[in-house]
Homo-oligomer: A and B are copies of this chain.
Amino acid sequence: MVLYIIGLGLTGTDISLNGLEILKNCKHIYLESYTSILMDSDTNQLESLIGKTVIIVDRYFVEMKFESILQDSILNNIALLIVGDVFAATTHTDLYLRGIKQGIPIKIVHNISIINAISVTGLQLYRFGQIVSIPFFEESWKPTSFVDKIIENIKINCHTLCLLDIKVKEQTLENLMKGNKTYEPPRYMTINTAIKQLLELTNTDVLGDNTLAIGVARLGSKTQKIVSGTLKELESIDFGAPLHSLVICAPKLHDLESEFFQLYRDVNCDINF
């Protein structure tokens, strides 16, 4: 039989017709819930759409129990659902390779990712440089490599998509050492925190308070919010519930990009995108 790895896109109704047809023929359906979250929809909604039970699985399950999923897929059609597109996170490319090496037939069903949908900002996709991830700073751990990458992009006049950290099912050091299966509440980095952290590391004419940026919250959902401005301006804007992302603009915007930037500049702009 086949193991299908199926992208769900950004919201609960982004699933493709192709993906939906496949799910009708799958015995077990798993939903990976730690590299992203589903907006606009909960598991119940997804289940009623599919007409089957969806088993939500965490990082531990996917990484450690993947062998049993592979074995199961020898006898049954199995689906692993991923929010966004399938190969956006390294974890899933790794799983894919493990399966292929064992000779298991695996098929991929793509879907939207923030990596293309970010074009709703009006910034041209071909002008995006390398993507960066901004991790939550810890007292003793403040990585700086994302700043270097943003500056590399700025130097070649490219935009940077910044993906913001998600902490799901994290344990405190104390609980981890005691072996307590108690997890901290999930944390999703806000645009405000991302900017605060960034400006803590650098604040120059190249990348600092006055750099133009666009904040994007809940992309693709009905409550999507997009605001453009300087980093300083965006730092204090309330973007609401997760997920948030941030784009650092290239130093020079094209005409069309500038027009979009103006469109999103008015915080109270009520255009429904």
Contacts and interface: CB of A to CB of B under 8 A. Distances in A.
Interface stretch (A80-88, A184-192, A228-236, A238-246): A80-88
A50 B172 CA distance: 51
Interface stretch (A27-35, A51-59, A126-134, A173-181): A126-134
Contacts of A259: 97
Contacts of A126: 130-133, 163
A215 B263 CA distance: 38
How many copies of the shown chain assemble into the complex?
2
Interface in A79-125: 85-88, 90, 93-94, 96-97, 100, 105, 107-108, 110-113, 115-117, 119-120, 122, 124-125
A123 to B, nearest CB: 9
Looking at chain A's contact residues, the main secondary structure is: mixed
A17 B48 CA distance: 13
Interface of A: 7, 9-11, 13-18, 20-21, 49, 85-88, 90, 93-94, 96-97, 100, 105, 107-108, 110-113, 115-117, 119-120, 122, 124-133, 152, 156, 158, 163, 220, 256, 259-260, 263, 271-273
